[in-house]
């Protein structure tokens, strides 16, 4: 039985403004109706896989859990208190997978890749399985279709006995164009997919041999785990002291039993807006259009309209991405530099680097529809049966107006039941809470007013989701 290990801790900064630190690309439905995380899980259907393990950042835990509950088999969700790259993350998963004395085959997958051909993907996984069972450390090499400078490469060595897989000769960093072209001509190089397969024990053996400090920190972190709702929390102090490294550097480049299985499955890491354009469905002038967009006399563009009409006239080789609170316009061959904009936003302390205007919470979501110097207006949606924390604000008062559904409101020493078109006022410094006791979503307008309206002006007295 294969244990899938899905790495879901990335931030996807090169796909800003759609992907943001608090809602990155793996949780977005970029290529269809389901999120990239759930699409990753779905392509495992038909393979001999158990529920698996999803590893994500603590700040993304509720988003991950809500999406994964849509699956027929709920995986374990292992939380990283801090990011330490892929080598420690997989070490945590290997230790978790072997807790009951088992030694499963681990299939390591990124949560934010696209694979068009599920049949070819499954065939490559089945081809790799006996190699992993023999103690090999398998990586999957994508058969290159162009001299790509944005990917690392794997050079194949001697042909193995199965006559379809190869020993790994070496791993190569992202090359310049001339070098990438020489790789294409040789036929000996594959794109490094970042997908791996090996026994849990083999991985732990290798990491003990090459990075014992990583293994020691991960063992200490897993020795003191806490189960919280759907999540497994590792010891934060122990994991914080873990060195940061990738599987490639820490293990695969040093291992003597590394092998590569070629894969031709329409793979893309969707790592930039140019990659999104590459794989998108194009009109007769090469434009990829998503959402409510009109183009005139425009060629080879990507136009993504998230919340309103976007129109272009006379442009070419351009990326236009519109969301509720930001618009990106970039030349298509410069989109790798979008992360520089994200860096500028962070340095300026602007929230657009981390949050969308619409923010998801475990109880539902809110959309900040208007704001000024001393006021803010939010559209709040509370899911049936869910409740916001019992809390207090020191700097703002709040007016709540129910648009639809039923609200159970704690307002100081009063408890109210409000329905459509009814409202209440929460003064500064009054303990309050909001709950949806009904069977349909509660839609509400909240008007905040006061001297400070930041989200950190919240003191929680109790919270069913374990938030501080």
CA gap 270, 268 in Å, rounded: 5
Average pLDDT over residues 163-179: 93
Q: pLDDT per residue over 70-82, tens digit each?
A: 888 899 999 999 9
First to last CA, the chain: 38
Say whether the peptide bond before residue 17 is cis (omega within 30 degrees of 0): yes
Neighbouring C-beta atoms of residue 170, cutoff 10 Å? 12
Which pLDDT score is estimated for 182?
94
Plot region of 364 (φ>0 → left; ψ -120 to 50 → alpha; else → beta) = left
Q: Are residues 333 and 373 part of one domain? A: no
Q: Are residues 278 and 255 part of one domain? A: no
Between β-strands 407-411 and 432-435, what pairing exists: parallel, antiparallel or unpaired?
antiparallel
Bridge partners, 396 (sequence order): 450
CB-CB contact of 96 with 200 (8 Å): no
CA gap 221, 237 in Å, rounded: 8
Q: Of the candidates 345, 376, 397, which is a domain's last residue?
A: 345
Average pLDDT over residues 351-366: 92
Backbone angles phi, psi at 109, to 5 degrees: -130, 145
- Quick one: 69 exposed, middle or buried, by C-beta within 10 A (0-12, 13-18, 19+)? exposed
Which pLDDT score is estimated for 33?
86
Q: Which residue has the tokens 């002038």?
A: 285
Contacts 24+ apart (CB under 8 A), 64-71: 64/8, 64/27, 64/37, 65/229, 65/230, 65/231, 65/362, 66/360, 66/362, 67/27, 67/35, 67/37, 67/38, 68/37, 68/38, 68/41, 68/230, 69/230, 70/34, 70/38, 71/38, 71/41, 71/42
Which pLDDT score is estimated for 193?
95
Computed over every residue of the chain, the mean pLDDT equals 94
Q: Of the candidates 268, 299, 327, which is a domain's last residue?
A: 268
| 363 domain-assigned | yes
Q: Are residues 443 and 311 part of one domain? A: no
C-alpha closest to that of 260 among 384, 156, 350, 108: 156
Q: pLDDT per residue over 380-428, tens digit each?
A: 999 999 999 999 999 999 999 999 999 999 999 999 999 999 999 999 9
- The tokens for 262 are 């070629």
Helix (H, G, I), strand (E, B) or coil at 229: coil
Q: Are residues 374 and 310 part of one domain? A: no
Which pLDDT score is estimated for 11?
84
- The tokens for 254 are 């040093």
How many structural domains is the chain composed of?
3
Instruction: State which residues form the domain around 227.
Output: 2-268
CB-CB contact of 27 with 73 (8 Å): no
Helix (H, G, I), strand (E, B) or coil at 356: coil
CB-CB contact of 378 with 445 (8 Å): yes
- Taking CA 66 as the corner, what is the angle to CA 11 and CA 59, rounded to the nearest 5 degrees? 40
Average pLDDT over residues 115-124: 96
At residue 468, does pLDDT exceed 80?
no
Task: Kindly report the CATH number assigned to the domain that includes residue 399.
Answer: 2.60.120.10
| 353 domain-assigned | no
| 352 domain-assigned | no
DSSP category for residue 174: P
| 350 domain-assigned | no
C-alpha closest to that of 106 among 219, 214, 6: 6
| 293 domain-assigned | yes
pLDDT band at 32 (very low <50, low <70, confident <90, very high): confident
CA gap 295, 377 in Å, rounded: 34
Total residue length of the chain: 468
Q: pLDDT per residue over 235-288, tens digit each?
A: 999 999 999 999 999 999 999 999 999 999 999 999 899 999 999 999 999 999
């Amino acid at each position: 039985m294969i244990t899938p290990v899905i790495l879901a801790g990335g931030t996807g900064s090169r796909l800003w403004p759609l992907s943001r630190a608090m809602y990155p690309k793996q949780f977005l439905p970029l290529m269809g109706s389901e999120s990239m995380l759930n699409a990753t899980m779905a392509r495992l259907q038909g393979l001999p896989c158990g529920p698996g393990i999803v590893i994500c950042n603590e700040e993304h835990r509720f988003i991950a859990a809500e999406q994964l509950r849509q699956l027929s088999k709920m995986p374990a969700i292992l939380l990283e208190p801090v990011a330490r790259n892929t080598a420690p993350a997989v070490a945590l998963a290997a230790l978790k997978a072997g807790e009951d004395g088992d030694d499963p085959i681990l299939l390591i997958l990124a949560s934010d890749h696209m694979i068009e051909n599920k049949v070819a993907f499954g065939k490559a996984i089945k081809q790799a399985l006996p190699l992993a069972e023999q103690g090999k450390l398998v990586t999957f090499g994508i058969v290159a279709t162009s001299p790509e400078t944005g990917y690392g490469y794997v050079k194949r060595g001697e042909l193995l006995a199965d006559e379809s897989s190869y020993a790994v000769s070496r791993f190569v960093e992202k090359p310049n164009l001339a070098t990438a072209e020489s790789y294409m001509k040789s036929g000996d190089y594959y794109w490094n997919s970042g997908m791996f397969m090996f026994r849990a024990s083999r991985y732990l053996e290798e990491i003990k041999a090459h990075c014992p400090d990583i293994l020691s920190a991960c063992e200490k972190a897993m020795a003191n785990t806490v189960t919280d709702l759907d999540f497994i929390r590792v010891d934060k102090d122990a994991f914080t002291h873990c060195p940061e490294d990738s599987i490639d550097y820490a293990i695969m480049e040093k291992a003597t039993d590394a092998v590569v299985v070629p894969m031709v499955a329409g793979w893309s890491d969707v790592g930039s807006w140019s990659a999104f354009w590459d794989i998108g469905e194009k009109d007769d002038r090469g434009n990829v259009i998503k959402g409510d967009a009109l183009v005139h006399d425009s060629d080879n563009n990507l136009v993504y309209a998230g919340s309103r009409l976007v129109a272009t006239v006379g442009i070419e080789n351009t990326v236009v991405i519109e969301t509720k609170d930001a618009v990106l316009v970039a030349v298509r061959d410069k989109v790798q530099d979008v992360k520089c904009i994200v860096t500028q936003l962070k340095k300026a302390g602007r929230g657009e680097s981390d949050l969308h205007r619409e923010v998801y919470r475990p109880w539902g979501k809110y959309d900040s529809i208007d704001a000024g110097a001393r006021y803010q207006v939010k559209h709040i949606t509370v899911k049936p049966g869910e409740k916001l924390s019992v809390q207090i604000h020191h700097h703002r008062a709040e007016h709540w107006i129910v648009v639809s559904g039923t609200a159970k409101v704690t307002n100081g020493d009063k408890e109210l039941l409000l329905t459509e078109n009814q409202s209440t006022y929460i003064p500064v410094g009054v303990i309050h809470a909001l709950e949806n006791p009904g069977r349909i979503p509660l839609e509400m307008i909240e008007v905040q007013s006061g001297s400070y309206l930041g989200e950190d002006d919240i003191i929680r007295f109790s919270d069913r989701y374990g938030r501080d």
